Amino acid sequence: MNELITYSQCPSCYSYHITQHLTASDHTVTHESFDVWHCNDCTLRFTQNIPQQSSIGRYYQSENYISHTDNKKGIVNRLYRFIRSFTVRSKRKIISSYTHLSKGNLLDVGAGTGVFAASMQKWGWNVTALEPDEEVRKRAAAMHSIQVGDPSALFEMTENHFDVITLWHVMEHVHSLHQYINQLKKILKPGGALFIAVPNYTSYDADNYKQFWAAYDVPRHLYHFSPVAMQKLMQLHGLKITRILPMWFDSFYVSILSEKYKNGKINLVKGFWNGALSNAHSLMKKEKASSLIYIISK
């Protein structure tokens, strides 16, 4: 039997001031329950008793894990694909706007089936893409004609090489959190930008759905970030958050999925309404959005 990872300290700031916050279920694959703990110092939340990196793969083996399968079945998956068509273009515009570049060296970590990486490559960027799942890498080649490498290559990359590094809903999956951030900092060019998108547990939809909030996604999501937690984590590594942007579409997808987890069935109207309410709460304070993009520099 594979041993589980049990934290006695916060995996971000190493504080011992940690407490159990809630218990959530794996609604995607196993329906097992996992505790989510809270750090009273840096405010990071993290999933307790998680599988080791070598054994967590089975929790991703589901047709419903859309970023790995591109599954078209079901209204939630079709909604995800529809939203993605907008967000891919939006990400390109954000990158160009904040780097003032229309091309350059871009690293996409956790590329999934390669939709974003392939799009950026078509728009003229020199793209390197990494993804841990071998079968998903094969799908990226077959579906989007892009070669995606294993993440182990990250630690062999040249210093100060990339103009842009992106992690779209990836940081919450990374076991070796500090090791990854150190390496990302090392290979990012001076003046380059790191774009990290993660769910935000301080959002209205997270507070509304509590343990049923789809973005807890235990045990695949190892960490659950607040803006304060991300700020303190980046400071530990000598990195600076220069801008925080909301991901407006995420609240709708997450709320619709959360509604299903809470009540056992899809309710598009209620899910859409709660997603809209979440965005409304974020209009005055964008740091309350369901998901946030952090733009980070050395």
Q: For 228-262, what is each residue's pLDDT tens digit?
A: 999 999 999 999 999 999 999 999 999 999 999 99
Q: Is 270 helix (H, G, I), strand (E, B) or coil?
A: helix
pLDDT at 68 > cutoff 50: no
Is 67 a residue whose pLDDT tops 60? no
pTM: 0.92
Q: What is the distance of C-alpha 270 from the center of its chain?
A: 25
Is residue 1 pLDDT above 60, yes or no? no
Contact 116, 87 (CB under 8 A): no
The whole-number average pLDDT for the span 94-111 is 96
Copy the structure tokens of residue 142: 């077959």
210 CB neighbour count, 10 Å cutoff: 13
Q: What is the dihedral of CA 86, 89, 94, 100, to 10 degrees?
A: -170
Q: What is the mean pLDDT of residues 184-212?
A: 98
Do residues 247 and 289 lie in contact, with contact meaning Cβ atoms separated by under 8 Å?
yes
Sketch the domain layout of the chain as residue ranges.
4-297
Q: What is the pLDDT of residues 144-165, one digit of tens each?
A: 999 999 999 999 999 999 999 9
Nearest Cα to 278, choosing from 260, 255, 261? Answer: 255
d(CA 81, CA 78): 5
pLDDT in tens, 69-91: 455 555 555 666 666 677 888 99
Q: Looking at the chain, how many residues does it have?
A: 298
Mean pLDDT score, 49-70: 78
85, 185 Cβ separation under 8 angstroms? no
Task: Please tell me whether residue 182 adopts helix, strand or coil conformation.
Answer: helix
- Strands 4-5 and 18-25 come out as unpaired
Cβ contact 244:287 at 8 Å: yes
The pLDDT of residue 66: 43
Average pLDDT rounded to a whole number, residues 152-179: 97
pLDDT (0 to 100) of residue 86:
78
Q: How confident is residue 97, by pLDDT bands cut at 50, 70 and 90?
A: very high
Lowest mean pLDDT among 39-43, 71-75, 177-181: 71-75
CA atoms of 296 and 298, how far apart (whole Å): 7
Q: Cα(7)–Cα(232) distance, rounded to whole angstroms?
A: 19
What's the CATH number for 4-297? Answer: 3.40.50.150
Mean predicted confidence (pLDDT) in 115-130: 96
Q: Quote the mean pLDDT of the chain.
A: 93
